[in-house]
Chain A
Amino acid sequence: MSDIASRVKAIIVDKLGVDENEVTMEASFTNDLGADSLDTVELIMEFEKEFDIQIPDDQAENISTVGQAIEYIEKAVKG
């Protein structure tokens, strides 16, 4: 697992109070990990802070799974 992936997962475990093994690449924040709309906003903010990036609202709307978050952040950090 990449460094980015493990940091993303750590944030999700902390903020959503879920077990690490539930945080699979396919897991949906709202459908699988019990997040509500406020949790989702908070996760995006935490990702922005952790990786020092900006995720515009229209992009954030497309990040609904763990895998999508990692993929977006990997691109953003390299870009």
Chain B
Amino acid sequence: MTQARRVVITGVGAITPIGNTAQEYLSGLKNGVSGASFISAFDTEKFKTRFACEVKNFDVNQFIDRKEARRMDRFTHFALVCADEAIKDAGLDREGSFDPDRTGVIWGSGIGGLDTFLKESVEYAKGDGTPRFNPFFIPKMIADIAPGHISIKYGFRGPNFSTVSACASSTNALIDAYIMIKLGKADVVVSGGSEAAITEAGIGGFNAMQALSTRNDSPETASRPFDKDRDGFVMGEGGACLILEELEHALARGAKIYAEVAGFGLSADAHHITAPHPDGLGAANVMRYAIEDAGLSPADIDYINVHGTSTPLGDIAEVKAIQKVFGDHVYQLNISSTKSMTGHLLGGAGAVEALATVFAICHDFVPPTINHFTDDPDLDPAINFTFNKAQQRTVRAALSNTFGFGGHNASILFKKYH
């Protein structure tokens, strides 16, 4: 029997509220920067929440021809920009560096073109009922169009699709990319995810669920996972791209290797459409499955980049799940929620957080959970939540957790490549 195929990360790209490239994102993570500010995308006067973590100083026309850019929603702009960075970083832009038929694109977006949908619907509502929809309405809006555009731009003809599981979407994309390579259906997969939901419909919709923080007097401290006074998540936008590649393929072309993808876990809470299982049942299962899948034990894990959205219920349930899986090793772990800095990128969260986890492994540091002011009496104070400042430590293996409305749970495990 042939040896099992191994999968490594050979390129990264990012466009986030705390940095518009992977390197800028890394320095934002190291320095504990907040990406939150008042929303510039639309007039928020009538909204309960008036702030978010927007991508700043981004002019799409510096990256994409004006006519092309106009045919895409902002979530696709983010996808193309961070994919381009990752593809170049991996050296896949070099002639003959990949077989187009063996190179896929698997991308996560939770919602797709929400702003496009809103604006076109408003136009329709203004009329007399005659359907006069722009021909780009559908191809701009659909959530799977981002991997389509990436494949068209670079000629990648391997497996190509999107994954949708709300806030777990791009973790699912990375996991599917890993599976495709393991199964021998592709040698390289451009993967990750992006989201652009800081729109009237996005903020208004999540406000209606009482999911968003309304700390309008202090946007930059509003995302405070595990703090006693957390009051909901802060919307973020942007995306990240990771190039997953079969190990022998990467070694043969002399690619640099960031880390190895070693396992994953998937589950459902089967409990409620938006509330997490109170004991973190599904969350515990995915961490356990991922560790088993990688052939490791809980004691091998040094860091967990948690879902930790800064909601009252979700943060507690996730910590309960971690305690259940790790037992006493929970006190040796570092835990952090980088959403304290980036906000919650919804379907893009899995990708930007997987990249934070990969950086932690490469650079032996743990990005912080910023904005910690008051301990939550319901959380064990002996757990290291990496509050406020990044910490140096060896990170041999780490998990990135994401959970989506619908009760979807996904965890992916990265480890140092030896």
Contacts and interface: CB of A to CB of B under 8 A. Distances in A.
A and B: interacting chains: yes
A41 B138 CA distance: 14
A41 B135 contact: yes
A17 B135 contact: no
Interface in A6-45: 15-17, 34, 38-39, 41-42, 45
Contacts of B66: 17
B136 A38 contact: yes
A73 B70 CA distance: 25
B135 A42 contact: yes
A42 B134 contact: yes
A27 to B, nearest CB: 16
B139 A38 contact: yes
A54 B136 CA distance: 20
B65 interface: yes
B94 interface: no
B46 interface: no
Interface in B67-114: 67-68, 70-71
B132 interface: yes
Interface residues of A, number: 10
Interface residues of B, number: 11
Given A45-B132, A45-B134, A16 B67 contact: yes
Interface string B123-158: 000000000101110010000000000000000000
A61 to B, nearest CB: 15
A38 B67 contact: no
Nearest to B69: A17
Interface in B353-380: none
Contacts of B139: 38
Contacts of A41: 135
Given A41-B135, A48-B132, 7 more contacts: A15-B70, A17-B65, A17-B68, A42-B136, A45-B132, A45-B134, A45-B135
Interface of B: 65-68, 70-71, 132, 134-136, 139
Interface of A: 15-17, 34, 38-39, 41-42, 45, 48
21 contacts: A15-B67, A15-B70, A17-B65, A17-B66, A17-B67, A17-B68, A17-B70, A34-B67, A38-B71, A38-B135, A38-B136, A38-B139, A39-B135, A41-B135, A42-B134, A42-B135, A42-B136, A45-B132, A45-B134, A45-B135, A48-B132
By Cβ-Cβ distance, the 10 closest A-B pairs, closest first, are: A17-B67, A41-B135, A38-B135, A17-B66, A42-B135, A42-B134, A38-B136, A16-B67, A45-B132, A42-B136
